Amino acid sequence: MAKLVETSPTFTVALDAMGGDYGPEETVAGGVQAAREQGVGVVLVGDETKIHEELAKLQLDGLPVYVEASHGIIEETDHPLQAIREKPTASIVEATKLVRTGRTQAVVSMGSTGGAMATSSLILGLVEGMERPALGGPILGQLSSAVILDLGSNVDCRPSQLLGFAAIGTAFARKIQHIENPRIALLSVGAEEGKGNRQVREAYSLFQENLQNFVGNIEGVDIFHDKADVIVCDGFVGNILLKFAEGLGMKLIASLPALLESAMPRESILKLGEGLLSGTNVAETLGGAPLFGVKGVSIVGHGRSRAPNIASAVHMAKRVWDSGMNDAVEKELSALHQKVANPYG
Amino acid sequence: MAKLVETSPTFTVALDAMGGDYGPEETVAGGVQAAREQGVGVVLVGDETKIHEELAKLQLDGLPVYVEASHGIIEETDHPLQAIREKPTASIVEATKLVRTGRTQAVVSMGSTGGAMATSSLILGLVEGMERPALGGPILGQLSSAVILDLGSNVDCRPSQLLGFAAIGTAFARKIQHIENPRIALLSVGAEEGKGNRQVREAYSLFQENLQNFVGNIEGVDIFHDKADVIVCDGFVGNILLKFAEGLGMKLIASLPALLESAMPRESILKLGEGLLSGTNVAETLGGAPLFGVKGVSIVGHGRSRAPNIASAVHMAKRVWDSGMNDAVEKELSALHQKVANPYG
């Protein structure tokens, strides 16, 4: 990877080639697809032999695709921090180091979310006030463009943390979705103030005091009624919702053939299923979600991602980088930090 | 309603004719449908004049349908306890009194869930150890028959309350669904012990110690993978899921015409939508859900219920009554109560 910085395009991404259920086959293909379609540089980080085997199957045509050797993989089943100690040259670790040293502008991984979060936190560092990165984004494709966070990294949240998520979501909606004044809501079991669990009831007044665009509580059904641009919940609720939507979508699609077999050909049913799935499967739509609160662009994607999804994740990395969203997040959080000094500490 | 007990069928239900978005029009029609199709007695409780206006539109043919006068309605927006004091002869109150005095075997309402819960708790009483009724049942129609509870009545739960929900769900699965040894799971963000928020982590060991059929944690996606028959969560999570599923289903169906317009006629699209909806809309499938932990059969249905859904809710009341489920719930909770004396009180 000599002279990478000198010869690469403006934006180069470090792609964890070993991550995901279908790495390196799909990750390498996805990286090459991104380089071809988006004009970005891609550094494939992983087992050199395996990566070159995959590259040999593809047309490279002088694309800015590079290979960086690493050894070992942090698995879903590993304890993240322990795994980083025991596998200091694992693919996600080496990929993240490329951002730290300025050789790439972002890191993208379809591997263990915990592994990516721990690596990004340790190597790139966290914005002041964040205990761990937050995960979020629009999870419902065409069905709802609302940014929902946190999606699983913070399961027991103080109200002040929820306030931080609101600030992060606002920066995302502004910079990535170009919504000037995103409306912010708390996800709850009733619209009125006073509805909800203790966490949400306490957060309500904190949101009212600190967020000009707070529109109050919304219920689960309102996610589909365009009542808010940023929907805040703790990672326990968010993760259950995310995976519930995925399961519900897949199950609905599986039920289509029985409902439709007499009405249309099998091929059309599959196509319809894909159309519906794009609304319920984050891997299909977004490609990947940014780790918010990390000092650097770090994108995690779904383990089941295929090449086109991986190319989408690279595209998300580039959008986050181009938009200056990370700076905006840092600014928003720092402003909040000065106003609200950990009120429920 | 003179001589009701002497002349009525074995099972008679008190139906809150004023409840729901479409009462008394749909409630009266639904009650009459239930009497005709299920051979049950139905006492319509509400504004006599309005009920008789609706009855005049229908063929009664000597069906065991009766009218009981009441005055006032407890609305969704009312504070339940306050409303019971201020409207002591409201339809849900009078309907519930009919169960208390033994004139009917069950009460069914499509009105304010909070109103029905408060009325049932005050007039019928709660099983020892319950602070308020729990709500639950299979919410996903053909997509998953798993019983999920609580669905919204208990938003901040101690682990011992979750254990109570497991016992209730077990009784429901056994008596209503005829599953001999229902598998019980905790809804969480990862399958392994130790995954989840504090509440779930604490409940895990309590479940392990006290429930022979505890299969561990499941994730949101596993609800669709038949990993458990009874899925326990607190009412905050359960209610958000319930309404999210409803919203997602409606939104998916709304997107069908655009996806299908060239492939099939409009009528077929609507039919397909109905087929899909039956999997995501509790009002369409279950009709109503029992209030668990109440000393008597009390069913609450969705406000948007139409006549056929209301007839289904009456049918659910009859099934709960016939099955002896309430006695089983009381027995299970009392057994737990002796083993676990409020360990996290």
Q: Is residue B344 part of a domain?
A: no
The answer to whether the CB atoms of B248 and A251 lie below 8 A apart is no
Residues A320 and A230 in one domain: no
Residue type, B343: P
Residues A99 and A12 in one domain: yes
- Name the DSSP letter for residue A121: I
- Considering only CB atoms, B240 lies closest to which of A220, A239, A255, namely A220
What do you get for the CA distance between the two ends of chain A, in Å?
A: 46
Choose one of A281, A309, A338: the last residue of a domain: A281
Choose one of A281, A304, A336: the last residue of a domain: A281
Rounded-to-integer distance, Cα B246 and Cα B254, Å: 12
Strands (DSSP E) along chain B, which ranges?
Answer: 12-16, 41-46, 65-69, 106-109, 134-138, 147-149, 184-187, 214-218, 230-232, 288-292, 297-301
Whole-number pLDDT of residue B285: 57
Return the structure tokens found at B309. Answer: 């859904």
Q: Is residue B108 part of a domain?
A: yes
Please choose, from the candidates B74, B36, B68, B39, the residue with its C-alpha nearest in 3D space to the C-alpha of residue B52. Answer: B68
**B307-323 and B25-38 helices cross at what angle (nearest 10)?**
50
Residues A174 and A120 in one domain: no
Residues B10 and B113 in one domain: yes
- State the DSSP string of B276-309: HHTTT-HHHHTSEEEEETBSSEEEEE-TT--HHH
**What residues contact residue B194 under an 8 Å CB cut-off, 6+ apart?**
B201, B204
Distances (CA, A) of B328 to A44, A342, B155, B221, B291: 60, 48, 24, 30, 14
- Considering only CB atoms, A279 lies closest to which of B144, B252, B272, namely B252
Please choose, from the candidates B299, B289, B303, the residue with its C-alpha nearest in 3D space to the C-alpha of residue B140. Answer: B289
**What residues contact residue A192 under an 8 Å CB cut-off, 6+ apart?**
A217
- In which region does residue B271 sit, left (phi positive, over 0), alpha (psi from -120 to 50) or beta (all else)? alpha
Rounded-to-integer distance, Cα B104 and Cα B264, Å: 49
- In which region does residue A125 sit, left (phi positive, over 0), alpha (psi from -120 to 50) or beta (all else)? left
The answer to whether the CB atoms of A251 and B279 lie below 8 A apart is yes
Whole-number pLDDT of residue B345: 42
Q: Is residue A334 part of a domain?
A: no
Per-residue pLDDT band at B336 (split at 50, 70, 90): confident
Q: Give A257-284 pLDDT, tens digit per residue.
A: 777 777 777 777 777 777 766 666 554 5
Would you call A170 helix, strand, or coil by DSSP?
helix
Q: Is residue A149 part of a domain?
A: yes
Q: Give A48-84 pLDDT, tens digit per residue.
A: 999 999 999 999 989 999 999 999 999 988 888 999 9
Domain of B191, CATH number, reads 3.40.718.10
- Considering only CB atoms, A241 lies closest to which of B244, B251, B259, namely B244
Residue type, A113: T
Q: Give B124-156 pLDDT, tens digit per residue.
A: 999 987 888 999 888 887 788 899 999 988 888
Q: Which domain holds residue B177?
A: 135-281
Residues B92 and B218 in one domain: no
Whole-number pLDDT of residue B287: 72
Averaged pLDDT for residues B201-206: 94
Residues A181 and A316 in one domain: no
- Considering only CB atoms, B246 lies closest to which of A221, A243, A251, namely A221
Interface test with A, best of B75, B248, B268, B302 (most A CBs within 10 A): B248
A43 in Cβ contact with A15 (< 8 Å)? yes
Q: Is the pLDDT of residue B344 over 70?
A: no
Would you call A299 helix, strand, or coil by DSSP?
strand
Whole-number pLDDT of residue B343: 47
Residues A237 and A305 in one domain: no
Q: Which residues of B touch A188 (CB under 8 A)?
A: 236, 240
Q: Is the pLDDT of residue A3 over 60?
A: no
- Name the DSSP letter for residue A144: -
Q: Which helix (H) or strand (E) holds A108?
A: strand A106-109
B219 versus A251: the higher-pLDDT residue is B219
Q: Is the pLDDT of residue A331 over 70?
A: yes
The answer to whether the CB atoms of B220 and A260 lie below 8 A apart is no
Residues A304 and A225 in one domain: no
Rounded-to-integer distance, Cα A294 and Cα A306, Å: 26
**What residues contact residue B128 under an 8 Å CB cut-off, 6+ apart?**
B333, B334, B337
**Number of domains chain A is built from:** 2
Q: Is residue A337 part of a domain?
A: no
- Name the DSSP letter for residue A266: H
A132 versus A181: the higher-pLDDT residue is A181
Q: Is residue B286 part of a domain?
A: no
Residues B265 and B155 in one domain: yes
The answer to whether the CB atoms of B236 and A196 lie below 8 A apart is yes
Q: Is residue A154 part of a domain?
A: yes
Q: Is the pLDDT of residue B3 over 70?
A: no
Q: Give B260-319 pLDDT, tens digit per residue.
A: 777 777 777 777 777 766 656 554 556 788 999 999 999 998 888 899 999 999 999 999
Q: Is the pLDDT of residue B29 over 80?
A: yes
Residues A80 and A110 in one domain: yes
Residue A317, class by beta-carbon neighbours within 10 Å (0-12 exposed, 13-18 middle, 19+ buried)?
Answer: buried
Rounded-to-integer distance, Cα A191 and Cα A195, Å: 7
Q: Which residues of A touch B200 (CB under 8 A)?
A: 236
CB count within 10 Å of CB B339 equals 10
Q: Is residue B330 part of a domain?
A: no
Whole-number pLDDT of residue A278: 66
- Considering only CB atoms, A155 lies closest to which of B143, B187, B189, namely B189
B43 in Cβ contact with B15 (< 8 Å)? yes
Contacts 24+ apart (CB under 8 A), B256-262: B259/A272, B259/A275, B259/A276, B260/A272
Interface test with B, best of A76, A145, A150, A224 (most B CBs within 10 A): A224
Closest-CA distance, B161 to chain A, in angstroms, reads: 15
B70 in Cβ contact with B97 (< 8 Å)? no
**A266-277 and A235-254 helices cross at what angle (nearest 10)?**
170
Residues B196 and B223 in one domain: yes
The answer to whether the CB atoms of B244 and A244 lie below 8 A apart is yes
Interface test with B, best of A189, A231, A242 (most B CBs within 10 A): A189
A235 versus A345: the higher-pLDDT residue is A235
Return the structure tokens found at B298. Answer: 């009390």
Rounded-to-integer distance, Cα A298 and Cα A243, Å: 22
Residues B59 and B157 in one domain: no
Residue type, B339: K
**What residues contact residue B265 under an 8 Å CB cut-off, 6+ apart?**
none
Averaged pLDDT for residues A283-307: 84
Averaged pLDDT for residues B175-190: 94
Q: Give A99-118 pLDDT, tens digit per residue.
A: 999 999 999 999 988 899 99
Torsional sign, CA A250, A255, A256, A261:
positive
